[in-house]
A and B are shown apart, each in its own frame.
Chain A
Amino acid sequence: MSTAVQEPARGQVAERLPRRDYVILPLLSLLTVLVLLAGAEVASRIAFVQHEKDACMMADPVLGTRFRPNCTSDVKAAEGPWVTNHYNACGFRSPQPCGAKPAGSVRVAVLGSSIAQGYLVPYQQTFAARAAAQLTQACHTQVQFQNLASIGYVWGRLADRVDAAIDLHPDAAVIAVVPFDLQQSEYQPNQPARAQQHSPGALKTVESLLENSRAVVAAQHFLFRQPGPYVRLYLQYGDRADFLRPPFSQAWQQRLSDFDHLMAGIAAKFRAAGIPVTLVFVPERAQAALLSAHHAPSGVNPWAFGQEIGAIAHRNGIGYVDMSEAMSRIPDAANLYYPVDGHLSGQGNKFLARLVAQQLQRDVPALTHCGMSMARGDASAGRS
């Protein structure tokens, strides 16, 4: 039986397919799709190696997570480089020891979650390391950052970390926050995961497959590199994206109120210890894209949330750095993040470092004499 496909000549009776082909051909198509998808998955797993689980991370009944002291681990975001994390004797991500502050040096304690930790970014590229280097150079004084931040933090219990920070006798404290962090504060550690509450159906299985598929990550990486489609999809996130839509929903108002209370407590503790605090607001990637674009869909305001956080900082007498302003001055702020993962990349940390260093020079008496330029925003830091 010939399998060659030839269109019948005009006037000829149309050639018919054997009956079996009505089954075989669609099956072949389906098989091709499956093989291509499997091939794409294998290729993506080779090209986009991912190892995000930090071997040094351990559960903590109070804080949610913390890092094993004197531990070294390797992690890698699918979109980023291999990163070696080293945690000092206190379990902080800092190369300097956490013991007594060396005489004549300036110490800054960093608090927060993954963004503050410099998650998935090599240490030397984190904002903490960069700001320390910039200030050391500008002030001719040894400036060290002790990074107490940790991914997976139970944000609502940040206050419990403040005592450890004060014990370091820092000259300043920096707290970095992203909108997503405020949602994390609602996490209840003893609550069973939703997936365990319901037996997974077919839809859940597909959902899980897609969530764990590296090909999907690779595909998203290329799709999300362009801010337009990323923002469009992000705005459909529902509650998670509602922080971009003022007036804020009841849920987001509650989160802001909780955060206000949290900051009041933290500020009071630091104030009592005589330590100035700087709150750094880092926009989400979609927000950064909107800020760069200088155009937002109706009902969306990328500035509003940062202004609310700023008001909270002001009410509590905390220094405030809002990355929004600086991001709005560059055309490609979305490029400062890993497109799919959403954390700041090395470039994003570089951008943040300069803002933090400038603010610390204003807020920290030990650093006010430094000759670092305060006037530059610095838009150039974001350009690679």
Chain B
Amino acid sequence: MTVPSLAFLGFTALVVVLLHLWRDARWRRGVLLAANLAFLATFSLDPRAWAPFAGLLAFGYLGVRMLQADRGALRRAFPPLCVGLILVYIWLKRYTIIPDSLLLQHPYVVVGLSYVFFRVLHLVIDAHDGTLPGKIDPVSYLNFSLNFASLVSGPIQRYQDYHRMERDPPSLGVISAGRAIERIVVGFCKVAVLSVLLHAVQTEAWGNMVHAVPLLPRVGWGAIVAAAYPLYLYANFSGYTDFVIGAARFTGIMLPENFDRPFTAENFINFWSRWHITLSSWLKTYVYSPSLMALARRFPSRRVEPWLAVLAFFVTFFLVGVWHGRTSAFIVFGILQGGGVAGNKLYQIEMARRLGRTRYRALCANTAYRAFARGLTFAWFTFTLFWFWSNWQQMGVYAHRLGGTGLALVSIVVLLGATALLHGVELVRRYGAMLVLDGDPLFASRYVRTVWCTALLIVSVSVTTLLNLPAPDIVYRAF
């Protein structure tokens, strides 16, 4: 089943009706389990295709129960268990480092495998640390790991948050329902209209760039090719997230947020606190913090502490990048993510040392500096995404068509353009917030939001119907 789609909404509606037939925790858990399994079945009915997926889940569950058994011998199995899970995941995802002869030859389902892996590994680690709320039973384990609303592309929820809602869902009043509907409509519009248009813009710009002869038009099209992709990716993935958060709310599950206006970030570290938040948080919790603590124990000096943070940042965000794909391009993508965050940290350390904390803080508050930093963050992310959306051959064509001068000009155009545009957006947002209705910001008013939401719905339905588009694909479904 495609997410987002009307079929998915219909499926969710049916689940919601079933959930409300009986106010009983066991009934609720049973309905959720049936819904999750039914949703999985829409991808394949062949048991062989599900066997590897089921194996990963079974492996994870046995590991969790083993670690919760609280026996010393079993608990010592924690490191090999984690390594085993990671290896199984890499194997099932068919990373190119695995020789072909070792891969499974029959087709099998991998939809949502990455996200399931993160949830299972989190359970294993928290079981070892003793931070899970009690012994986990198979139904809760499956409902958490396979939650149909977030299976395909996340967001990655923590079990501690899920557990409460599985038994005792938060009430759904008229305002919450309205907000959930708004998220669904906004999400659908982002995916089905905005991301489709941005993708078309990028595709057309690519064709124009390849065929344009004079340098300046080529630079213009090249800048659009580069800058359209992050916007497309944001519309596509954040739209999906909005949609599933809204849909899940009706089932009594409040999924975590995955985006927080990422292009307003004024540095790359902050960007990763706003983009794919649940992934970066997961890695900060389970990679960054433990590795930093381990390094600090190994090198217990206050002078090297900031440099250890730089190293831990690099490792963490290198993994973020590498996770996205199985080819060599994603290794570069990982290096650029890790390098960007680590370089950002180094810059902060160096500037604080040279200027002193107070002057550096004052500099960071300067409007022009902030605008430029915002543009630079966007430009860097745009640059790194070349290793995300294109292959080496396409990058070769791009570089060949633009040449050294063209590439330099494209970088300047993207940097300055993003600086100006994002600052403009910030100004609109700031001044927009000054418009007040009944003491609250106008754009937060339910009246304005009702109008906005209705308009988006009409536009989305009209565009998808008239263009007769196939159900939109979610980029992150592939990961």
Contact = CB atoms under 8 A, between A and B. Distances in A.
A33 interface: yes
Contacts of B445: 3-5
Nearest to B171: A14
Interface string B432-461: 000001111100111101110011001100
A103 interface: no
Contacts of B466: 219, 222-223
A79 B441 CA distance: 44
Contacts of A32: 450-451, 454-455, 458
B465 interface: yes
Nearest to A31: B451
Contacts of B73: none
A32 B453 CA distance: 10
Contacts of B441: 4
B178 interface: yes
Interface stretch (A17-25, A115-123, A246-254): A17-25
Contacts of A229: 468
A228 B469 CA distance: 12
A25 B438 CA distance: 16
Contacts of B468: 223, 226, 228-229
Contacts of A228: 468
B463 to A, nearest CB: 9
A8 B173 contact: yes
Contacts of B285: none
A28 B454 CA distance: 9
B440 A4 contact: yes
Contact of A7 (B179, B439, B444, B451): B179
Contacts of A14: 171, 173-176
Interface in B174-196: 174-176, 178-179
A78 to B, nearest CB: 15
Contacts of B462: 219
A229 B451 CA distance: 31
Contacts of B173: 8, 14-16
Contacts of A222: 466-467
Interface string B304-320: 00000000000000000
A110 B176 CA distance: 69
Interface string A23-46: 011001101110010000000000
B449 to A, nearest CB: 6
Contact of A2 (B438, B451, B455): B438
A3 B450 contact: no
A198 interface: no
Contact of B444 (A5, A36, A226): A5
Given A219-B462, A222-B466, A226-B468, A5 B446 contact: yes
B379 to A, nearest CB: 35
Interface in A218-264: 219, 222-223, 226, 228-229
A3 B175 contact: no
A10 interface: yes
B170 interface: yes
Interface string A354-374: 000000000000000000000
Interface of A: 1-8, 10, 14-17, 21, 24-25, 28-29, 31-33, 36, 219, 222-223, 226, 228-229
28 contacts: A3-B438, A3-B440, A3-B444, A4-B441, A4-B446, A5-B175, A5-B179, A5-B445, A6-B175, A7-B176, A8-B175, A15-B173, A21-B446, A24-B447, A25-B446, A25-B447, A28-B447, A28-B450, A28-B451, A28-B454, A29-B454, A31-B451, A32-B451, A33-B454, A36-B455, A36-B459, A219-B466, A226-B468
Q: Which 9 A-B pairs have the closest CB atoms?
A: A14-B173, A4-B440, A3-B445, A4-B444, A32-B454, A222-B466, A29-B454, A5-B446, A32-B451
Interface of B: 170-171, 173-176, 178-179, 437-441, 444-447, 449-451, 454-455, 458-459, 462, 465-468
